[in-house]
Amino acid sequence: MRPRHGAATAQRLEWQLPSRAQDKMKRYEKFAGEIAELIRSGVLAPGQKVPSVRHASRTYGVSASTVFQAYYLLEDRGLIVARARSGYFVREHVRRALAEPEIARQEAQTTEVDVSELVFSVLSSIKDPDTVPFGSAFAAPELFPLPRLARSMAHAVRAMDPRAVVADMTPGSHALRRQIALRYMVGGMPLSVDELVVSNGALEALNLCLQVVTGPGDLVAIEAPAFYAALQVLERLKLKAVEIPVHPREGIDLEVLAERMQRLPIKACWFMSNFQNPLGASMSDDKKRALAALLARHQVPLIEDDVYAELYFAQQAPKPVKAFDSEGLVMHCGSFSKSLAPGYRVGWVAGGRFREPIERLKLMTSLSASVPAQAAIADYLQHGGYDRHLRKLRHALESQQHAMLAAVARHFPEQTRVTRPSGGYFLWLELPENVDALRLFQLALAQGISLAPGPIFSATRRFRHCLRLNYGHPWTARSEQAMATLGRIIRSL
């Protein structure tokens, strides 16, 4: 049985957890990360030889066995392959260079949102567990430490002080909020436990934030393309969308946003600054800083959806816009759904100057997040090895991304454009103009393959020839076959 610790030891362990995990990143992992970054950024191209073990060991000042271990790791992650008697090469995962999608600017317009019917019809059809889940919004359950979480749940509930069922209601379990605050601190953005409100998943937090700062008929700046649930929230609250184009790698077009803010009475923004769903785009720190300054100038709040923040492939966690906000205008929403505990429905918001109204609205709507689920996650964060799990999860997702990109290159028409995100688990594809993604969706579904068609990500039904594919599941022969089938259907349209 896992040893339990006295209060003093527990406190020390808890404070050590994230940094200790960092220290534990071995030399070869660090070196592998540097080579992976060179591959991702294109410095080392597909087919190119990576430095020989002797050369790398001399140049980087690491031992030959460190280089070997790093290369084995990169091989496991699908980034390089060994060729007999020739050394290691960057995998030819993209035999031809696939271009990046282009998101066109469009004339300013404010739009009533009416997407729910379409979204529900797509979502209900992709729930069948026998379908190849390229349309899913979730990663494979086997990538999560569910048995270990169950042990945390059992232990935490058994050890729970009966008073916790009331005490841990909104704003939420103090132990959990402390663990979340610690992760913010290690990420370089210290904040107070008191700023955090625990919610039923990030989606509830996002809803509450939007309700706190808007009323029916108000204008809200959203991304184009946007996460479809954001569009549904606007529709439900009778808000009008002002679509801001998103660059597939760099995130929202700040120039367009600045112009719209100048001209229109925008009441709030709802953006994702890291691994945007569906494009996978991430803003640079400079851009995040500039966005925070723009918000401050107009005193417009930002609802920042950062649910994929932990799923980064680079060496370091990306910062949120909130890290650059000195006015309390950013409501930063996070979740354990994508990184640890799908189905537990535990998320949170660091609410800035809006914390109190958010907390009150939460009390008036759902009262509280589940107390046992909060206790389980708090226990896991303290004792379960979250950072170790996250490292494994990121590696799995990265190698699955390579497998899917390779399959796109092999099976899809040459004009296909595709993103190559540095985190998360979605690819966004722009197909030849004549392809109707909704028709493709129907035809693919008839063959047992789901996908997320472009129009569900737009208030104005744009992105007709685009789709989002999920690479959050272990790559198998079935996945490869499904990609070949999709390629055949696309060519037949």
Ligand X SMILES: Cc1ncc(COP(=O)(O)O)c(C=O)c1O
The Cα 264–Cα 219 span in angstroms is 8
Q: How many other CB atoms sit within 10 Å of the CB of residue 284?
A: 13
**Nearer to ligand X among residue 416 and residue 458 (C-beta):** 458
295 binds ligand X (CB under 6 A): no
The Cα 450–Cα 461 span in angstroms is 19
**Nearer to ligand X among residue 66 and residue 277 (C-beta):** 277
**Nearer to ligand X among residue 347 and residue 421 (C-beta):** 347
The residue nearest ligand X at its CB is 201
In terms of Cα–Cα distance, which of 285, 283, 282, 305 is closest to 209?
305
- Shortest distance, position 461 Cβ to ligand X, whole Å: 20
466-470 and 87-90 strand pairing:
unpaired
Q: Tell me the number of residues near ligand X by CB under 6 A.
A: 12
Helix ranges restricted to H, 214-318: 228-236, 254-263, 285-298
Tokens of 119: 């979204």
Contacting ligand X (CB under 6 A), which of 90, 113, 126, 137? 137
Find the helix packing angle between 201-213 and 355-365, rounded to 10°.
Answer: 120
**Nearer to ligand X among residue 214 and residue 276 (C-beta):** 276
- Shortest distance, position 240 Cβ to ligand X, whole Å: 21
- Shortest distance, position 479 Cβ to ligand X, whole Å: 21
**Nearer to ligand X among residue 253 and residue 305 (C-beta):** 305
- Shortest distance, position 205 Cβ to ligand X, whole Å: 8
**Nearer to ligand X among residue 51 and residue 347 (C-beta):** 347
Which three-class secondary structure state does DSSP give residue 359?
helix
Contacting ligand X (CB under 6 A), which of 168, 223, 305, 398? 305
In terms of Cα–Cα distance, which of 267, 269, 297 is closest to 283?
269
In terms of Cα–Cα distance, which of 317, 246, 259, 328 is closest to 287?
246
- Shortest distance, position 73 Cβ to ligand X, whole Å: 29
The Cα 490–Cα 412 span in angstroms is 7
Find the helix packing angle between 116-125 and 228-236, rounded to 10°.
Answer: 140
**Nearer to ligand X among residue 53 and residue 341 (C-beta):** 341
Q: Which residues inside 446-465 make contact with ligand X, applying CB under 6 A?
A: none
Residue 382 gets which letter from DSSP? H
- Shortest distance, position 441 Cβ to ligand X, whole Å: 18
- Shortest distance, position 85 Cβ to ligand X, whole Å: 46
Contacting ligand X (CB under 6 A), which of 242, 300, 307, 429? 307
Q: Which residues inside 169-228 make contact with ligand X, applying CB under 6 A?
A: 201-203, 227
**Nearer to ligand X among residue 429 and residue 490 (C-beta):** 429
The Cα 89–Cα 48 span in angstroms is 5
- Name the CA radius of gyration of the chain, rounded: 23
337 binds ligand X (CB under 6 A): yes
Query: What count of Cα atoms within 13 Å lies in the side-chain half-sphere of residue 325?
Result: 26
347 binds ligand X (CB under 6 A): yes
- Shortest distance, position 243 Cβ to ligand X, whole Å: 16
In terms of Cα–Cα distance, which of 122, 115, 326 is closest to 222?
115
- Shortest distance, position 231 Cβ to ligand X, whole Å: 11
**Nearer to ligand X among residue 78 and residue 342 (C-beta):** 342
Place of tokens 């001209």: 263
**Contact letters (x/-) for ligand X, 138-167, by CB under 6 A?**
------------------------------
**Nearer to ligand X among residue 28 and residue 348 (C-beta):** 348
Tokens of 349: 């918001």
Contacting ligand X (CB under 6 A), which of 69, 232, 335, 479? 335
Residues 6+ apart with CB under 8 A from 442: none
- Shortest distance, position 137 Cβ to ligand X, whole Å: 4
Place of tokens 């290159």: 409
Binding site for ligand X (CB under 6 A): 137, 201-203, 227, 272, 277, 305, 307, 335, 337, 347
